[in-house]
Chains A and B, each alone.
Chain A
């Protein structure tokens, strides 16, 4: 036969290994799996879109979120104000976009704090075992029993009080930062402090099962120090569930911030937050329903998007999770 055949079936016998076959790396196969989930991909693009809007648009807008013009208060959507105005004449679309900034920042910063605390805690607990493990787990239990919202509110009130009474040194640095973020440093720290528990538990569980594997023993036999083992061997192998948990934790943080802003204990006006906008919209719910609908829809869609994204990531990286 004159056909040059490169197909495996004709070339190899049944027992031979096909060295030319392409095998996906873990991340590549996860990526392909993820792409199949249209809802997750759609959510990802949505998040990219609102992030872009939140970052870029504020520099382009003529009005700021705090500009009041009482002559145009409570207007229905029009060309000048595409989403209408609130009771103080502030443009709602601008406020909505700045609110997006607030929510996204909260979501991401809180997750970073959580990762900074929870991952090392989980690694240490799982790796060192014994007393250290017990101590860390006890702390987890105590914090677990405390109603989260309560704790966050207390920390916020505490920090905010200290920031406003002639701060100095480190406190002053934090206080300035706090002002820029609309009074949310308390939220970042408070939420981070209560929510690192799940990540710590997950990392600890993974570490414990990884410890049984031979390559850890081998590494130790070859003289790797504790730090090296944790950084180079344990950590890379637990990244997948960490990524999923972090993504799924973002909607929780966003909802928390919206919740305490709704209660008036969160962001400091005039900085807008979707939760605050919702609470402002409720008194005029009947006559100006759009005031309620825009932020409520924005909030729900963003949270939904992160949930779908997290679910998609989890399904895509699934074989890893089963370990």
Chain B
């Protein structure tokens, strides 16, 4: 099968995948006892309950709710939010998603630059003090959860030293983005550093590098032109996972730092059983991750012609 057919098959696979995610989530949510109205603590009188359910279509048979929601969702209408009456889910997502997106992108950039650079340096100066130091920092980065990092950063930088604000969001260009972006980027940067380092080490001991050196090339072009390009391939595979990490990481970082993003809103909607928001967010995240994985899969044969020939 050539590259074109493979690509088309992968793209087509996207839809059943998303459908499966939707079905799974829908089933799980609707099988959970305790609807959205009982979360407030105050019991709701049965008549009011009935009218609310009626108004929001929650009395319809399950299969009808399933298809109705799907039909609407495909047209971009995710329904009204149950917790925030009077606002539609798309409205809320429209407000919160761009915030998370910006934060996520900034973190991604930080993670990529810092991670790959440190990993490369570690591999190049193998077994030196710098190598051990970066490896150590990387492993700590992998072991420390993002909410601990956020808390510690806020405690030290904001509360004690008063260098940075303690919470909130002011767009990309403000100081309020610094702490959450770093906290969100630490884990992916650590993962990237480790992967880059081991991948580059493998590449540097390969035969074709020996050939390049034997040909008399100076070290710098050898590294830059041959080694790094090949070492970056596994990094590409990892970047799909990185994206998922940044998305899930945002749940915590946004909650602790009070960033008005989709992550924080998603967390609260789960405890409030706000079905439309939950479903809409799951579909959105699922779509983003699937598309990202798709892009990675499609890029791979481009970067490594050997794979395309399989």
* A contact residues vs B (CB 8 Å cutoff): 141-142, 144-151, 153-155, 157-158, 161-162, 164-165, 251, 255, 258-259, 262-265, 275, 278-279, 281-282, 285-286, 289, 292, 296, 299-300, 303-304, 307-308, 311
Contact = CB atoms under 8 A, between A and B. Distances in A.
Nearest to B289: A145
8 contacts: A145-B290, A161-B33, A251-B142, A279-B147, A300-B140, A300-B148, A304-B140, A311-B139
Contact of B148 (A153, A289, A296, A311): A296
Interface in B288-302: 289-290, 293
A258 B149 CA distance: 14
Interface of B: 13, 16-18, 20-21, 24-25, 28-29, 31-34, 139-140, 142-145, 147-148, 151-152, 154-155, 159, 244, 247-248, 251-252, 255-256, 266-267, 270-271, 282, 285-286, 289-290, 293
Nearest to B155: A285
B151 A296 contact: yes
Nearest to B19: A142
A278 B155 CA distance: 13
Contacts of A147: 244, 247-248, 282, 285-286, 289
Nearest to A289: B155
B143 A150 contact: no
A279 B256 CA distance: 9
B145 A255 contact: yes
B33 A146 contact: no
Which of A142, A158, A161 has the most C-beta atoms of chain B within 10 angstroms of its own C-beta? A142
Contact of B147 (A164, A259, A307): A259
Contacts of B252: 259, 262-263
Contacts of A299: 145, 148
Contacts of A285: 151, 154-155, 159
A262 B24 CA distance: 25
Given A158-B32, A162-B31, A265-B271, A145 B248 contact: no
B270 A259 contact: no
A142 B282 CA distance: 14
Given A150-B25, A150-B266, A158-B29, 10 more contacts: A141-B13, A142-B21, A145-B17, A145-B289, A251-B142, A263-B251, A281-B151, A285-B155, A292-B155, A300-B148
Given A278-B151, A282-B256, A161 B34 contact: yes
Contacts of B33: 161-162, 164-165
Contacts of A142: 16-17, 20-21
A300 B143 contact: yes
B255 to A, nearest CB: 7
B147 A262 contact: yes
Nearest to B244: A147
Which of B20, B154, B159, B256 has the most C-beta atoms of chain A within 10 angstroms of its own C-beta? B20
A39 to B, nearest CB: 10
Contacts of A311: 139
A146 B248 contact: no
Nearest to B147: A262
Contacts of B20: 142
Contacts of B29: 154, 158
A143 B91 CA distance: 29
A299 B143 CA distance: 8
A234 B95 CA distance: 53
Which of B31, B147, B244 has the most C-beta atoms of chain A within 10 angstroms of its own C-beta? B147
Contacts of B289: 145-147
A311 B197 CA distance: 15
A161 B267 CA distance: 17
Contact of A154 (B13, B25, B148, B247): B25
Nearest to B273: A157
A265 to B, nearest CB: 7
A157 B30 CA distance: 11
Given A145-B286, A148-B248, A149-B248, A154 B143 contact: no
Contacts of A300: 140, 143-144, 148
A154 B13 CA distance: 24
In the A-B complex, the 4 residue pairs with the smallest Cβ-Cβ separation, listed nearest first, are A303-B143, A161-B32, A161-B33, A154-B28
A308 B251 contact: no
A161 B29 CA distance: 10
A264 B271 contact: yes
Contacts of A275: 145, 147
A36 to B, nearest CB: 15
B247 to A, nearest CB: 6
Nearest to A154: B28
Which of A155, A263, A299, A311 has the most C-beta atoms of chain B within 10 angstroms of its own C-beta? A263
A282 B167 CA distance: 13
A278 B143 contact: no
A251 B271 contact: no
